[in-house]
C-alpha cells in the first residue's frame, strides 16, 4: 500500500512539474529529505524517483517562463569555485573511480540547489520550499520525539534509512538546523491551529534531539541555545524558558544517557573520540602533502598506513571541516569556509537592512533564523561528515536569494501579508513588477 501511495504521489506530480518548474524543486526536496520510498517495503524502495523528478524538471525548465537568471554575488562566485576545485581534486584523486562516483552524486545536489536559485523567485515559493524541508525532516523529529517519550529515552532516534541523515548523530544536527525554520513558520502563519501544530513539532523535535543520544548534537544544542538567547529581544523570558526546558529534559533522560554525555569530559578514554582525532590528524597530514587532498572516498587502510598516527583506526573524519580538508586540501577548505562566512555576512546585511522596516518583517525574521541554522550546522557539523548534505546548501541558497533581493532594492511591501522577494529582471522572461500598495 505504501509503495502504491508513494508511486502515485510522485508520478501524479509530474504534470504539475511540467507546468510549473518550481514544483519540481519542491518534490525533489521532499524525496531527498524525507525519503518516503524508504518507508515502503516493496517495489518502491529502490525506485529512482529522484532521477525521474529531476529529468522532468530539466524538461520543464527549458520551456518555463517562470525562471530568471542566476543571481551572482561573492557567495555564488566562491561557491562555483568550490565546485570547480572539487572537480580538480577529483581528477587528481588517489582513487579516481570512487572519487568520480562520489563527485557525480555531489554534483547532482549542487545542480538542483542552483536550480533553486533560478526558480524560487518570490516569497510564496520560498515559503513553500521551507514548508517542504520542515515537514520532511520534521516527520522524523516529531515521530522521534514521541518515541523518546514512550520509551523513556532508552533508545536512539534514527532518520530515514539509506539517507545522509539515517544515523542518530546526523538526524539530530539536521533537526537542530530545521527547528529555527519551524520558529519562522510559526511566527508567519496566521492560522491558529497551524501554529499549535508547529509548536508541538518544536517540542517533539527538541525531545528527539535528546533522544538521539548524540554528544555532538548536545554541544550543538548548547551553541544554538546560547545564540538564540543572544539574539532574543526578551532575554530574561527566553533564558528562563531555555533553562526550565533543559532541566526538565535532563531529569527525564535515563542514566545511560547521562553516562554517555558525561564521557565528553573524558574523551581521552573514549575509543570513538580518539578515532576521530586520529582521522583529523590524518586529514591534516594528507592536506600538507597533497595540495588537492586525497580526493573523495579515500578513507582506506592504505592511506591511513601512510598518513595517520594510528594506522589501525580507519574511520572517516566525522567533521565537515576535516572531511573537506582531506578530500580537497587546504584550498578546498578555504573555499568551503569562505562560502559559510559569506553566507553569514549576507544574512547580517539582510538583518541590518530590514531592521525596524515594517515592509519586510518576514525577511528579517527569516535571516535571523537562518543564522541560527548555520550555527547548528557549523557547531554540530564539527563532529559529523555532512559537508555535502543538501540542507546546508539550501540554507546558503535561501540566504543568497534574500541578500540579492535587498541588494537590488526590489523589495515590495504587501502590508500584513508579508514581503515579496524579487530579483533583478532578466533580459528574457521579465516579470511584471508589482506596485507598492499604500500603507493601511
- Which pLDDT does position 345 carry in this prediction? 94
User: Does pTM surpass 0.85?
Assistant: yes
Q: For residues 127 and 302, give the distance between their C-alpha atoms in angstroms, rounded to a whole number.
A: 47
All three cell numbers of 44, joined, read: 518502491
Compute CA 235 distance to the chain's CA centroid, rounded to the nearest angstrom: 27
Q: For residues 245 and 65, give the distance between their C-alpha atoms in angstroms, rounded to a whole number.
A: 49
CA atoms within 13 A on the CB side of 55: 7
In tens digits, the chain (440 residues) has pLDDT values of 788 898 999 999 999 999 999 999 999 999 999 988 888 888 888 888 999 999 999 999 988 887 778 888 899 999 999 999 999 999 999 999 999 999 999 999 999 999 999 998 888 899 999 999 999 999 999 998 899 888 887 778 888 887 888 888 889 999 999 999 999 999 998 888 999 999 999 999 999 888 888 777 888 888 888 888 877 777 787 778 778 877 877 777 777 766 667 666 565 555 677 888 899 999 999 999 999 999 999 999 999 999 988 888 888 888 999 999 999 999 999 999 999 999 999 999 998 888 877 777 788 889 999 999 999 999 999 888 889 999 999 999 999 988 887 766 544 443 344 443 444 444 344 333 433 444 43
DSSP conformation letters of 269-334: G-HHHHHHHHHHHHHHHHHHH-TT-S-TT---HHHHHHH-SSTT------SHHHHHHHHHHHHHHH
> Per DSSP, what are the bridge partners of residue 421?
411
Q: For residues 134 and 124, give the distance between their C-alpha atoms in angstroms, rounded to a whole number.
A: 15
> Which SS3 state, helix, strand or coil, does residue 170 take?
helix
Q: For residues 218 and 212, give the distance between their C-alpha atoms in angstroms, rounded to a whole number.
A: 10
Residue 400: other Cβ atoms inside 10 A = 26
Query: Domain locations in the chain?
Result: 1-64, 74-119+271-440, 122-265
Amino acid at each position: 500500500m505504501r509503495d502504491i501511495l508513494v508511486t502515485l504521489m510522485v508520478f501524479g506530480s509530474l504534470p504539475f512539474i511540467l507546468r510549473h518548474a518550481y514544483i519540481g524543486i519542491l518534490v525533489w526536496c521532499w524525496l531527498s529529505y524525507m525519503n518516503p520510498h524508504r518507508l515502503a517495503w516493496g517495489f518502491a524502495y529502490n525506485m529512482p524517483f529522484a532521477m525521474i523528478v529531476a529529468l522532468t524538471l530539466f524538461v520543464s525548465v527549458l520551456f518555463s517562463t517562470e525562471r530568471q537568471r542566476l543571481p551572482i554575488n561573492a557567495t555564488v562566485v566562491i561557491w562555483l569555485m568550490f565546485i570547480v576545485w572539487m572537480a580538480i581534486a577529483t581528477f587528481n584523486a588517489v582513487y579516481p573511480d570512487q572519487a568520480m562516483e562520489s563527485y557525480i552524486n555531489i554534483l547532482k545536489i549542487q545542480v538542483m540547489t542552483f536550480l533553486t536559485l533560478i526558480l524560487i523567485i518570490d516569497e510564496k515559493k520560498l515559503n513553500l520550499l521551507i514548508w517542504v524541508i520542515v515537514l520532511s525532516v520534521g516527520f522524523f523529529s516529531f515521530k522521534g520525539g514521541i518515541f523518546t517519550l514512550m520509551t523513556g529515552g532508552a533508545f536512539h532516534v534514527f532518520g530515514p534509512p539509506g539517507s545522509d541523515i539515517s544515523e542518530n548523530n546526523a538526524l539530530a544536527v539536521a533537526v537542530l538546523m530545521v527547528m529555527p525554520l519551524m520558529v519562522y513558520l510559526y511566527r508567519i502563519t496566521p492560522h491558529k491551529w497551524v501554529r499549535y501544530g508547529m509548536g508541538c513539532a518544536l517540542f517533539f523535535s527538541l525531545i528527539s534531539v535528546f533522544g538521539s543520544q548524540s554528544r555532538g548534537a548536545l554541544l550543538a544544542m548548547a551553541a544554538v541555545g546560547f545564540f538564540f538567547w543572544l539574539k532574543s529581544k526578551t532575554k530574561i523570558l527566553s533564558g528562563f524558558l531555555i533553562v526550565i526546558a533543559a532541566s526538565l529534559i535532563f531529569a527525564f533522560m535515563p542514566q545511560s544517557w547521562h553516562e554517555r554525555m558525561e564521557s565528553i569530559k573524558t574523551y581521552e578514554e573514549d575509543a570513538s573520540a580518539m578515532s576521530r582525532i586520529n582521522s583529523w590528524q590524518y586529514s591534516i597530514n594528507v592536506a600538507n602533502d597533497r595540495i588537492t587532498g586525497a580526493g573523495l572516498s579515500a578513507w582506506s587502510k592504505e592511506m591511513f598506513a601512510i598518513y595517520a598516527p594510528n594506522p589501525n583506526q580507519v574511520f572517516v573524519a566525522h567533521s565537515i571541516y576535516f572531511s573537506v580538508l582531506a578530500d580537497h586540501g587546504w584550498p578546498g577548505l578555504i573555499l568551503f569556509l569562505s562560502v559559510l562566512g559569506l553566507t553569514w555576512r549576507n544574512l547580517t546585511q539582510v538583518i541590518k537592512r530590514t531592521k525596524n522596516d515594517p515592509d519586510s518583517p518576514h525577511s528579517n525574521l527569516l535571516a535571523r533564523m537562518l543564522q541560527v541554522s548555520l550555527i547548528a550546522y557549523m557547531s554540530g557539523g564539527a563532529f559529523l561528515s555532512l559537508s555535502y548534505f543538501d540542507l546546508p546548501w539550501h540554507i546558503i541558497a535561501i540566504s543568497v536569494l534574500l541578500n540579492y533581493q535587498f541588494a537590488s532594492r526590489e523589495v515590495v511591501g504587501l502590508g500584513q501579508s508579508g514581503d515579496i522577494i524579487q530579483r533583478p529582471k532578466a533580459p528574457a522572461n521579465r516579470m511584471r513588477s508589482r506596485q507598492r500598495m499604500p500603507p493601511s
